[in-house]
Amino acid sequence: MDKRASLRLQFKRLLEKERLDDRQYALLRRKLENSGADVSGVDTYPDGRFQRKRTIWTAAAMILVLIASFTAIRFNSMTDVESDVPQRIAEEVAINHIKFKNPDFETSSMEEVRVFFDRLDFVPAGSDHIDRTSHFLRGARYCTLQGKIAAHLMFGSPQGDSVSYYQVAYDPIRFGPLPDIEKDEEPRVFIRRGVEIKIWVERNLVMARARTTPLQS
């Protein structure tokens, strides 16, 4: 049963759900930057309840980036796109997954998801790595991956697990070579902040799966 509240509060909740998605925000930001207007960071919320949360995540993101950069410098000569991009995707995906953002569109139907994503330059696809037997689709939202507009599909399980799938059109110049599972290559696997991330290419899409690492008993 839907929770009841005062008319004013219900209108407020209804309207506060309306926000710019990442693509819309990126477009506005570019317009304002080109005009010389003062534009602050992508996730800056200067007042209200989001500020503290956002600041924490920004700080966490910066620490992650620093750690990632340090690790990269230490263990690899990370100057080429090939080795760096999957790491950066993993960082981005881990942070997004931890944020537990609400879906823009709630549905359990993959067909409805395809209809919803009418601003993408690709069609979101199913994958053998998307386990529909133990996880159910909760919804979807627009996001960006390495600056490219992407689809974020959200799955849950009766046990309360949360799994995120990200899909973006594969651009070899931007993303470098990634394992193509249609050529029997294994996905790259990363663990970032307790989140297991797999990255691969399938149907000419970059796919990334993020899920909380199951607790070992």
Partner 1 sequence: MTFDREILDRLYRYCFVLTGQREDAEDLLHSALESYIRNRPDKIDYPVAYIRRIARNRYYDQLRKQKVLPFESLEESGSYTNVEQNLENIIIDRLTVEKIWKTLSSVEREVIYLWAVEEMSAAEIGQHLDQPRGTVLSRLYRLRRRVTENFSKEIGGEHHG
Site residues (vs partner 1, CB under 8 A):
1-16, 18-20, 24-25, 27-29, 31-32, 35, 37-48, 50
For residue 92, count other CB atoms closer than 10 A to its CB.
24
Spacing of C-alpha 131 from chain mean position: 18
Residue closer to partner 1, measured from CB, 47 or 186: 47
CB of 53 to partner 1, least distance (A): 12
- We find the least distance from the C-beta atom of residue 77 to partner 1, in angstroms, to be 36
Q: From CA 73, how far away is CA 20, in angstroms rounded?
A: 36
Query: What amino acid is encoded at 50 in this protein?
Result: F
Among 44, 36, 47, which Cα is nearest to 20's?
Answer: 44
Q: What is the nearest approach in angstroms of partner 1 to the Cβ of residue 146?
A: 19
Shortest Cβ 154–partner 1 spacing (Å): 20
Question: Between the CA atoms of 215, 96, 205 and 146, what dihedral angle is there, to the nearest 10 degrees?
Answer: -140
